[in-house]
Amino acid sequence: MKLTKELQNFKSLREISSILEFMRIPGVGAELFKEAILKFQNPIKMKTKIQEDRNFQKKIEKRKIGKNKNEDRGLIERTINYLKDLPSNESFTYFGAPDYPSRLISTSEPPPILFFKGNPELLENQNSVAIVGSRHPSNRGITLSCEIARSFARSGWLVVSGGANGIDTVVHETVLANRGFTAAVIGCGIDVKYPKENKFLYEKISRNGLILTEFFPTTPPIASHFPTRNRIIASLADFVILVEGTEKSGGIYTIKKAIKEGRPTFCLEGDGLLSGAKNFIQKTLKKVKIVKSLKEIFGKMS
């Protein structure tokens, strides 16, 4: 179903308020929000239309089972107040708005709302790659990450990562050092600095790249947020490269999401890809190509 011209013209705080109210309903996530916005089109009238649609109500009720969102009655008011007084380098969009990132529109779980710090137009770069990996990389893993990030930066690609310690940090810093384009997808509010040691890196990215998140302002980083943000990293890229990792790492989750969205995926061994993870990838994630160099990646893509 296509978005109507009526919906495409929406971009006001009133619409955002309606969307926030809908997203606070237990059981409502990105997938159900996408279905609702495509079906009902108008965010303001969405709540009323859902009340008139018994079948859609049943879908919500079904997904409520076992789920309970923390009551935070001040969330909407705080978010709206934050958006009313945005700094000059911050902006926001939502699914259905004309400036919503095109790479995310067709994904299965597009973020309902996105908050930006920096230049969101970078997301429309013709070529994009995601590079993620261990928070505790080996020396070889660091060397490989630098080599890969440098190559893509110098070729004009947008390099996406997660802003975390370890490989993510190496990737962002290398791209910036080579005057390339980088985007950090974070697992907390746009106004929250996490990890704290990356405070100055975030400032550099916001001036020369982009920081983005689907989490509301002031939202703290908690463990469950990072698998959620990893799907965005995977979806923003033409293909995904994992540099080292373990079977239960966030990087493995990212490539799982990349496979779901039809993105080619590669895993660079380094010295930190534990044998258990390698066996897991070979047996379970058969579409992932395990390689040892950037040259090998391009060889397998040609």
The whole-number pLDDT of residue 46 equals: 80
Q: Considering just the CA atoms, what is the radius of gyration of the chain in Å?
A: 20
CB of 196 closer than 8 Å to CB of 189: no
Closest by CA position to 153, among listed 36, 294, 51: 294
The whole-number pLDDT of residue 122 equals: 97
CB of 125 closer than 8 Å to CB of 157: yes
Q: How far is CA 89 from CA 28, 41, 92, 116, 210, in A?
A: 30, 29, 11, 8, 10
Enumerate the CATH 3.40.50.450 domain ranges in the chain, comma separated. Answer: 118-301
CB of 254 closer than 8 Å to CB of 234: yes
pLDDT tens per residue across span 116-142: 999 999 999 889 999 998 888 888 889
118-301 adopts what CATH topology? Rossmann fold (3.40.50)
List of the chain residues with pLDDT < 70: 1-11, 64-73, 269-280, 282-284, 286, 299-302
pTM of the model: 0.88
The whole-number pLDDT of residue 9 equals: 41
The whole-number pLDDT of residue 8 equals: 40
